[in-house]
Amino acid sequence: MMAKVRMTKKSPFCNSTQYLMVSPVKAKNQQVPEDENRSEASFDVAILRERVQVKLKEARLKALEFDAPAFWNTSRKVHRLETILSARHARYFQRAEQLRGIYTVKVSSPFGALPSLLLSNYYSPVSNDCRRLQATGCEDNVTESFSQSQPLPRSALSIGLPQGVLDPGSLRAEDAVPLSFVHVVNYAYVNSDGDVVVNNTKILPQRCKHRSGWDIRQLDAGLIRESPLYDEVFTIAQYWGFGFFHSTLESLPRLAPFLDFLRDHPHIKIHANIRHPFLSLLSIDESRVVRGNIRARILYLPAGASCGSPSLYPTQALASQLRPQTVPLDRQNIIVLIKRSRSRRFLNHRSILDTLEHLAIPLGFEVKVFADNPVLPASETRDMFGGAFLVVAPHGAGESNLLFAQPGAVLLEALCDREKKGPVGCYIHVAKILGMRYYGLVPKGGNCSHTTAAEIETAAIPILRLKQNGVV
């Protein structure tokens, strides 16, 4: 179908100077089928979720009808692998289609419909030392950078997808854009790193330490046979999946596009590294979680995520289901100060807290401390971060609670310099794809633990001014 480009509204994606807002156009005397028309002009989250639900249920029925013996029903001592199928490979989908007993469901949208599915406003990172931050587009002017949103490069769509699946530079309005996917696999073995074995093939989803999965070419067949067997399992396990950052921003988003299906099928187990406290907020009972090495009659294997770089749509979909309903700007009046109890904690926490209260209280704002020992219940954490316009923290996993914050909120992160490697910048990416503003504070000496109240004050004052002016 033909499409015309209207310049009335910016898409969150850019290709040099091209911004798309698409409406379908009929050729003369040509009727546009109802479903095709919806696919662009009126395509929205509800339609996408409905389509994914239908396709996944169809794939499940095919898997239930699959009739073949399980590969582990042998007396062999060693199970040898002939093929490694990496989710980073350029021909990943084509090779997966050749495997018997695997059905793939893609979460796709017309490119022209993406503005109705994704956040519209994104912001350039700001820092007092962009040279050390080494972040693309870093600027040093808080007022200018935080006052004006920027389009997100189209390349962000490719994060977490196999290489070459998407050519962001050549997308047209009617082109289908894959946002995520899930395989429905018959008779699979999956280990605690999330690597899957089907017959003589190992499937490696994108994850941290991805290359480590290539090292093992044979397995203990007895260990496979002794692993617990479940009827249906949805896996989000991965290397480092026991850590709060990785489990929250790399594992949980894998669930997000398929939550409707999982709620409709409560018998399906969730294979994960931990019983994540946010599952209950997603209406997923923690009793469904299974861990370790397992077997499944039917395994649901969703798209993975690049280490430290959560995927765009799954992360936004997760945040939209986790955060409180939209809180108006004039009611976002909380400054959250994260208090770590172990490494990378603010040694000057008391003076930083006093300074923030001195700045905030006269303006009618409230400062709340989020401590990691003990950790607040998930519902209280959601409410605290959901009403925050500013989060102040040393670099650490507690910042993953930004999932609860409203788009446009500010993260003021004190960065820890790793000598010649520079600061860890994973939350620059997280804040960016969640439509939030980011200030990377590189403290004098490079040690975030020694960040002073004066350094926090210098960074916070222009942010508070923007808040007073109704920008933040």
Q: Do both 236 and 201 map to the same domain?
A: yes
Q: What is the DSSP letter of 19?
A: -
Instruction: Give the integer Cα–Cα distance in Å for 441 and 352.
Output: 14
Instruction: Give the integer Cα–Cα distance in Å for 393 and 450.
Output: 12
Say if residues 255 and 289 touch (Cβ distance below 8 Å): no
Q: Do both 383 and 420 map to the same domain?
A: yes
Q: Do both 256 and 223 map to the same domain?
A: yes
Per-residue confidence in pLDDT tens, the chain, 472 aa: 333 333 333 444 443 323 333 333 333 333 333 443 444 556 889 999 999 999 999 999 999 999 899 999 988 999 999 899 999 998 999 999 999 999 999 999 999 999 999 999 999 999 999 988 877 789 999 999 999 998 888 889 999 899 888 887 788 888 899 999 999 999 999 999 999 999 999 999 999 988 777 777 789 999 999 999 999 999 999 999 999 999 999 999 999 999 999 999 999 999 999 999 999 999 999 999 999 999 999 999 999 999 999 999 999 999 999 998 778 887 899 999 999 988 899 999 999 999 999 999 999 999 999 999 999 999 999 999 999 999 999 999 999 999 999 999 999 999 987 656 778 889 999 999 999 999 999 999 888 999 999 999 999 999 999 999 888 8
User: What is the number of domains present in the chain?
Assistant: 2
Pairing of strands 269-271, 289-290: parallel
In this prediction, residue 6 carries a pLDDT of 32
Q: What is the largest CA-CA distance in the chain?
A: 74
Q: Do both 376 and 242 map to the same domain?
A: no
Full domain range(s) for residue 462: 323-468
Q: Which of 311, 332, 349 is the last residue of a domain?
A: 311
Q: Do both 411 and 268 map to the same domain?
A: no
In this prediction, residue 49 carries a pLDDT of 94
Q: Do both 368 and 457 map to the same domain?
A: yes
Instruction: Give the integer Cα–Cα distance in Å for 335 and 126.
Output: 19
* 362-to-11, 46, 359 alpha-carbon distances in Å: 39, 43, 7
In this prediction, residue 18 carries a pLDDT of 33
Residue count of the chain, please give it: 472
Q: Do both 97 and 230 map to the same domain?
A: yes
Say if residues 241 and 274 touch (Cβ distance below 8 Å): yes
Q: Would you say residue 379 lies in a domain?
A: yes
In this prediction, residue 419 carries a pLDDT of 59
Q: Would you say residue 159 lies in a domain?
A: no
Query: pTM for the complete prediction?
Result: 0.90
In this prediction, residue 19 carries a pLDDT of 34
Q: Would you say residue 145 lies in a domain?
A: no
Instruction: Give the integer Cα–Cα distance in Å for 47 and 176.
Output: 15
Say if residues 335 and 366 touch (Cβ distance below 8 Å): yes
In this prediction, residue 466 carries a pLDDT of 94
Q: Would you say residue 412 lies in a domain?
A: yes
Q: Which of 275, 291, 311 is the last residue of a domain?
A: 311
Instruction: Write down the residue that tokens 């499409």 correspond to.
Output: 3
Q: Would you say residue 259 lies in a domain?
A: yes
In this prediction, residue 420 carries a pLDDT of 60
Q: Do both 227 and 372 map to the same domain?
A: no
Q: Would you say residue 386 lies in a domain?
A: yes
Q: Do both 307 and 348 map to the same domain?
A: no
Q: Would you say residue 369 lies in a domain?
A: yes
Q: Do both 307 and 346 map to the same domain?
A: no
Q: Do both 228 and 343 map to the same domain?
A: no
In this prediction, residue 267 carries a pLDDT of 98
In this prediction, residue 27 carries a pLDDT of 33
Q: Do both 278 and 336 map to the same domain?
A: no
Q: Would you say residue 12 lies in a domain?
A: no
Q: Which of 271, 288, 311 is the last residue of a domain?
A: 311
User: Domain containing 402 — which CATH number?
Assistant: 3.40.50.360
In this prediction, residue 17 carries a pLDDT of 28
